[in-house]
Amino acid sequence: MAGAEPGAGVSSLLPQASGNVWEVVLVPWTRSLRRAAVMCWGSPVAPRRASKQSERIRGLPLCAPPRPGPRPGRSPGGDWAGGAPLSRPRLSDANPLGRKRKGRGSAGRDSSAASRRRLQIKSGVGHRGKMVDYSVWDHIEVSDDEDETHPNIDTASLFRWRHQARVERMEQFQKEKEELDRGCRECKRKVAECQRKLKELEVAEGESSKAELERLQAEAQQLRREERNWEQKLEEMRKKEKSMPWNVDTLSKDGFSKSMVNTKPEQAEEESEEVREQKHKTFVEKYEKQIKHFGMLRRWDDSQKYLSDNVHLVCEETANYLVIWCIDLEVEEKCALMEQVAHQTIVMQFILELAKSLKVDPRACFRQFFTKIKTADRQYMEGFNDELEAFKERVRGRAKLRIEKAMKEYEEEERRKRLGPGGLDPVEVYESLPEELQKCFDVKDVQMLQDAISKMDPTDAKYHMQRCIDSGLWVPNSKSSEAKEGEEAGPGDPLLEAVKPGEDKDVSA
């Protein structure tokens, strides 16, 4: 300004004009450092307007004030010397700063809107030009507001004590407020009761009623004074509460509170072997015919259509039955049919594996398997065929083991049937006999047997003959059978003495 010390340095650089008032406006930093704008009032030359942002912030007028009177033939808002408008540009909610829009493009609108919003925030202007009151944040009581404390004081304990003291003050204040509120309500109740009694006494007549009426009127006046006192105290309490600094408990309140605890879903207990076996048996009895029909299919489309019509077949029970059926067919030496059923078995197992990987029900993903297998590449088909061949080999191995097990069981059954009275197998005993004794049993010649025994060592002869009796190869006669059971035969035993010509002996192979 002219003659002002703060602007002397800048105004000295400008041309001096008598009768003119110069004002220097320093434009704040925005995107780049801008030059100082000089605004001239009353000059015949058109004034240079400063940045609207600086004018908005500094509170300066957006343009020069209008002249005292309009020019002849011009409206008050007409042109001024030099073509500059005389009146202030019209501001609106959509354009609070009077800026020119950058165009119809969305980018220009977005950028100008963002700039206006940033300017409003800096200048404290809220929605629709309303000022935002930030004074409520000036006095906030925080227990741990200080970062540094005295070295001899425990910081954590200090914060804890402050918090405890603040909580106690809040509780005491709330208690006093509740007492005042309760006293005010009680006083209002007494006033209402007194008014009711007054209305009843006004109707009644008599000296006693008049005396009572005067007493109640005096009491009503006293109650009204007490009510005003209570209301005054309550209003003072509200003002005190409003002037109290905010804290973490009063800044906000819970709109709603909801707690959710994620718990792991309980896994279903594994079924026992008996339960699974009974479940499989029941399923097979009900759907055995349908399972066999599926096992005889070959084309992908036929299998998909049949499973679509019978979705209950997409389960582990079907796969288990097909596996058992394959082994049975291999045992029966029906290899071609086994390979056909094995193909459908692998199809069902692939569906179950896909469902397990996707963690969905098998009935919901079997169509996805068929779509994938029909459009699969060579590598996927090779994997399917490799699994099929490996399954066939496993079936053949299981069938072989089953046949061997069946043969062993048959041989064991036959051996149990052959056991003699002593529990020995006659075949095993016959194979353990010396060659001379074997020939005797082969030809069933008793004399030859007697001669062979007589030539043997008595101990060996006794051992072999006892084994023959226990296995049933040698059946002694009635005389030798009179001997006590379990009594061993010696050299002079009737068992050996009975082996003489002329006596009846039975020799069984």
452-497 per-position pLDDT tens digit: 888 888 888 888 888 888 777 777 763 444 444 444 444 444 444 4
pTM of this structure: 0.40
Local structure of 62: helix, strand or coil: coil
Distance of CA 401 to the CA centre of its chain: 47
Q: What is the mean pLDDT of residues 224-236?
A: 90
Please check whether residue 173 is in contact with residue 241, taking contact to mean a CB–CB distance below 8 angstroms.
Answer: yes
Report the 10 Å Cβ neighbour count for 424: 20
Residues 6+ apart with CB under 8 A from 77: 66, 85, 86, 87
Write the burial class of residue 116 (CB in 10 Å: 0-12 exposed, 13-18 middle, 19+ buried): middle
User: What is the structure's pLDDT at 352?
Assistant: 92
pLDDT at 123 (0 to 100): 52
Q: Are 237 and 180 in contact (CB under 8 A)?
A: yes
Q: Average the pLDDT over each of 102-106, 258-262, 321-325, 450-454 and give the range with the smallest value.
A: 102-106
pLDDT band at 73 (very low <50, low <70, confident <90, very high): very low
Q: What number is the average pLDDT over the span 374-384?
A: 81
Residue 439's CB is within 10 A of a number of other CB atoms, namely 14
For residue 452, what are the contacts with CB-CB under 8 A and spacing of at least 6?
A: 434, 436, 437, 440
Q: Of the ranges 131-140, 197-206, 309-318, 436-445, which is most confident? A: 309-318
Q: What is the per-residue pLDDT for 458? A: 83
Spell 335-372 as b/e; 16+ CB within 10 A means b.
Answer: eeebbbbbbbbbbbbbbbebbeeeeeebbebbeebbee
The answer to whether the CB of 348 falls within 8 A of the CB of 325 is no
Element housing 283 (H / E): helix 273-295
Tens digit of pLDDT for each residue in 273-308? 888 888 888 998 999 999 999 999 989 999 999 999
In the predicted model, what is the mean pLDDT of the chain?
Answer: 71
C-alpha span between 115 and 427 (Å, rounded) = 111
Helix (H, G, I), strand (E, B) or coil at 38: strand
More confident residue, 217 or 483: 217
Q: Using alpha carbons, select from 353, 282, 275 the residue that is nearest to residue 319.
A: 353
Highest mean pLDDT (candidates 129-143, 161-175, 373-387, 404-418): 161-175
pLDDT (average), residues 174-179: 90
Whether the predicted pLDDT of 210 surpasses 70: yes
Question: How distant, in Å, are the alpha carbons of 75, 279, 469 from that of 320?
Answer: 101, 12, 51
Reply yes or no on whether the pLDDT at 27 is more than 60.
Answer: no
pLDDT at 51 over 60: no
Cα 325 to Cα 342: distance, rounded to the nearest angstrom: 9
307, 313 Cβ separation under 8 angstroms: yes
**Higher pLDDT pick, 203 / 65:** 203
Q: 41 in helix, strand or coil?
A: strand
Residue 480 phi/psi, 5-degree rounding, is: -70, -25
More confident residue, 503 or 340: 340
Name the residue with tokens 């043997």: 456
pLDDT at 440: 81
Instruction: Name which residue leads in pLDDT, 203 or 66.
Output: 203
Q: For position 322, what pLDDT does the model report?
A: 93
* pLDDT value, residue 320: 92
Higher pLDDT, 97 or 236: 236
pLDDT at 74 over 70: no
Higher pLDDT among residues 238 and 20, named by residue: 238
91-100, 130-139, 220-229: which range is least confident on average? 91-100
Six token digits for residue 433: 């006999």
Q: Closest by alpha carbon to 366, among 321, 318, 324, 322?
A: 318
Q: Using the predicted structure, report yes or no on whether residue 242 has a pLDDT greater than 60.
A: yes
Percent of the chain with pLDDT over 70: 61
Give the single-character DSSP code of 342. H
User: What is the signed CA dihedral for 78, 81, 87, 89, rounded to 10 degrees?
Assistant: 100
> What was the pLDDT predicted at 344?
93
Q: How confident is the model at residue 323 (pLDDT cuts 50, 70, 90)?
A: very high
Collect contacts of 194-201 with beta carbons under 8 A, ≥24 apart: 194/219, 194/220, 194/223, 195/220
